[in-house]
Amino acid sequence: MLWTAIRKTSHYEQYHKQILAWSDVIRLIYLIKNKRKKGDKIEIENDSFYILCECKDNVLYVINVKKK
């Protein structure tokens, strides 16, 4: 899974940005080793957080961030 940029989606901005700071989201994306591809989506999770992303044209779009 390769990408050249990480961006927020409007859904993330509207519903999920208050859950975790954007800098922490980016840090977790790079630190968490448990990444799974399900269809066109990428699930990244650890014991505390779940991040749902989509990769289009080498850009990783963050859709959803949830605390477990």
The model carries a pTM of: 0.91
What are the extents of the domains in the chain?
A: 5-67
**β 5-8/59-67 pair status:** parallel
CA distance linking residue 7 with residue 15, whole number of Å: 15
CATH match of 5-67 with 3.30.2310.20 = yes
- Give tens-digit pLDDT for 37-55: 998 899 999 999 999 999 9
Tell me what the mean pLDDT of segment 5-17 comes to: 96
